[in-house]
Structure 1
Amino acid sequence: MTRLLDILFSAVGLVLGFPVLLALLVVGYFDTGSPLFRQRRVGRHQKPFTLVKFRTMKPDTASVASHLADASSITPFGRFLRRTKLDELPQLWNVLKGEMSLVGPRPCLFNQQELIDAREQRGVHLSRPGITGLAQVNDIDMSTPELLAETDAKMLASLTLGAYFRYIVLTALGKGTGDRVRTP
């Protein structure tokens, strides 16, 4: 049932959100010269996929988890995108393609072995990664891999249709701060 909702919501979001996506793409082009950010991430069954987001950091920033990146790498427009969570909108394409779900564990990088192992032990990789979920609305990010894996497993074990909608609404209303970044 959630896959059908993912397809419906992502398709509608991409169509209705097209003017916003286009405007953010243009502003992002002037901000960084490269408005889209693509990164190889761990998907369902640990298969790789390319996650697409709006770029919030300077193009020459090292490709590391957000909590390892330096806050000075975030552009002023990137701060706005992160605060409003608009940087996540292009991931609707990943959802429509079936690589992600709207609700699920955030996809990690392949170099985050501690998190990959903790998730594997708990069966988290059996599900599609998501844009939002229990960890995100409770400010739990990849800097605490064991806690994140436990929270992801808890969410997946108790994911109902009501919880699916609750996580989406909480995220849209601004609950959760997103991934932390290091301050200089």
Structure 2
Amino acid sequence: MTIDTDRVQKKKIYHFCKRVFDFLVSLIALIVLSPIFLVIAIAIKLDDPNGGVFYSQIRIGKDGRKFKMFKFRSMINDADKKLKALLKYNEVDGAMFKMKEDPRITRVGKFIRKHSLDELPQLVNVLLGDMSLVGPRPPLPREVKQYGLSDVQRLLVVPGCTGLWQVSGRNNVGFDTMVALDLKYIGEANIWIDFVILLKTFRIIVSPNDAY
């Protein structure tokens, strides 16, 4: 699938309104959810005192720009060092790693992942403008190196905390399907579609899903 780049760039009013909405919602959410942040932070430290509460990772954003994405730590402290040994157990095709029974995930980590609570610190990224509430998930640099001509189109817009593929099966969809859904979103994105995706995301947070 090839996206009409000019059409995407001409949606200036939409992108402006989206940025204002992102800023206001992320600011309010960070204030309102601060007690939940505190509870999660305490639970993480009690479960695994050796690591920090937050975890940051370099991701690739719009037009290939690198930024530091924040999450609550859901894995053991040296998880990145153990990734190479687990790559052979990858359960999805393409430039992405997913493993349902990943031994690096902590007990609290399993819970906050199941309810997508580990993603809450990304509200800071939204506030800063690195991310949007809705958009393609920001890939890792090593994933982008494996991208084909179609895949790289995911970098045409600001990445999001949630998106069309996350509410369309999440870990049950493969890499190619994820890319297809992201490109479909980029090509058709508007305020209404963003609103519907956010509503579906809220339902996922409230009700347990298949996240891992």
Equivalent of residue 151 in structure 2, options 94, 119, 129: 119
AA at the equivalent of 2:168 = N
CA distance in 2, matches of 1:115, 1:26: 38
Where does the alignment leave 5 or more consecutive residues of structure 1 unmatched?
Answer: none
Which residue in the other structure is 1:72 paired with? 103
Q: What do the CA deviations read for 1:132-179 (whole angstroms, capped 9, x no partner)?
A: 01111112459833322221110111112111111111111117633x
AA at the equivalent of 2:113 = R
> What is the correspondence of 1:91-102 to structure 2 with a 5 Å cutoff?
91-102=122-133
Tell me: CA distance 1:69–1:83, structure 2 relative to 1, closer, same or farther (3 Å): closer
Tell me: CA distance 1:42–1:166, structure 2 relative to 1, closer, same or farther (3 Å): same
Q: Is the aligned partner of 1:86 residue 2:117?
A: yes
Structure 1 range deviating more: 31-40 or 95-104: 31-40
Which residue in the other structure is 2:179 paired with? 149
Equivalent of residue 25 in structure 1, options 29, 36, 41: 41
Partner SS for 2:98: helix
Return the offset for 1:21.
0.8
State the TM-score, normalized to the length of structure 2. Answer: 0.76
Return the offset for 1:118.
3.5
Tell me: CA distance 1:165–1:58, structure 2 relative to 1, closer, same or farther (3 Å): same
Q: Is the aligned partner of 1:47 residue 2:68?
A: no
Return the offset for 1:48.
0.6
Where does the alignment leave 5 or more consecutive residues of structure 2 unmatched?
Answer: 1-16, 84-95
Partner SS for 1:62: helix
- The alignment covers a number of residue pairs equal to 177
Structure 1 range deviating more: 100-109 or 70-79: 70-79
Amino-acid identity (%): 31
Q: What do the CA deviations read for 1:33-92 (whole angstroms, capped 9, x no partner)?
A: 311111001111111111100011111112655515852211111111011111010000
Q: Is the aligned partner of 1:177 residue 2:210?
A: yes
Larger radius of gyration: 2
Partner SS for 1:128: coil
CA distance in 2, matches of 1:39, 1:96: 17
